[in-house]
Amino acid sequence: MIKINKSGLPQGIIIKTEKDYRSEKVLSILQQDFFNKCYVCEEKEPTSINVEHFRSYKNYKHLKYEWENLFYACAHCNKIKGSCYDHIIDCTREDPEDYITMRFNSYPENYVETLERRNSAENMETRELLDKVYNGAGTPISEYEAKNLKKRIAKELKEFTECIESYQDERDSKLRAVYWNDIKEMLNRESNFAGFKRSIVLQSKELMQCFGELMN
């Protein structure tokens, strides 16, 4: 999860029905605000898009049509979150990076761990949700989806770490600048699974010294 700066709802857009919050105008603002990424798993350009209720409308009926409560998510995450995780870290108000570090393990099998950086009341629910999203929620479908998701994260992180190694090994200043820009792009919050890449840098003193300035 990464920090999202959600814009205000432009004047003239009224949300009073389900059709309203699934309208082209609302979707386009959400897509832009959330960098076209699911705010839970961070997959970019998800093929299944859901307008997600941060606090579920099952438990918070009065928030069903509230703009502040509408988030951009993929179907996999929306289904797992359901009405069970109403008190996770609100990435539109807090920076999840201050509270949680992501860790991707690739051996003996792909497995996602979350580490607590700073304590907060929402940490436990957030970490439990992320565990289910990335490692499966007990049903064969969710596990198959989670495995596919982790394959995509592994591919992305392989490219990222290779790019860092290339930058560190390269002596030609022009090529180094090219790698530097690639790394900058990959560490941008807009990038696919940025939270994982940023966590790799955040957890390493050496990488922070080198790339910390790109972690805006």
Instruction: Give me the least distance between CB of 9 and Zn ion, in Å please.
Output: 23
Convert residues 71-90 into a mask of x (bound to Zn ion by CB under 5 A) and - (unbound).
---x--x-------------
**Binding flag, residue 183, Zn ion (CB under 5 A):** no
- Name the residue nearer to Zn ion (CB basis): 146 or 183: 146
Structure tokens at 180: 């530097």
CB of 205 to Zn ion, least distance (A): 31
Give ∠ CA 20-24-29 in degrees, rounded to 5.
95
Query: What is the footprint of Zn ion within residues 125-164 (CB under 5 A)?
Result: none
Could you give the maximum distance between any two Cα atoms of the chain, in Å?
A: 60
- Pick from 41, 91, 153, 200: which binds Zn ion (CB under 5 A)? 41
How many C-beta atoms lie closer than 10 Å to residue 146's C-beta?
23
Between 136 and 163, CB nearer to Zn ion: 136
Between CA 103 and CA 115 the distance in angstroms is 7
Q: How many residues bind Zn ion (CB under 5 A)?
A: 5
Token pair listed for 143: 């596990």
Q: How many CB atoms lie within 10 A of CB 92?
A: 17
Residue range at the interface with Zn ion (CB under 5 A); choices 18-26, 35-43, 48-56, 201-209 = 35-43
C-alpha separations of 8 from 18, 25, 51, 89, 91 in Å: 19, 13, 16, 20, 15
Cβ proximity to Zn ion, 39 vs 167, nearer residue: 39
The residue (of 130 and 183) whose beta carbon lies closer to Zn ion is 130
At residue 47, what is the residue type?
T
**44 versus 176: smaller Cβ distance to Zn ion:** 44
H or E element at residue 116: strand 111-116
Nearer to Zn ion, 55 or 163 (CB): 55
Q: In the complex, what is the shortest distance from the CB of residue 121 to Zn ion, in angstroms, rounded to a whole number?
A: 23
Scored b (16 or more CB within 10 A) or e, 65-86 reads: bbbebbbbbbebbbbbbeeebb
Binding site for Zn ion (CB under 5 A): 38, 40-41, 74, 77
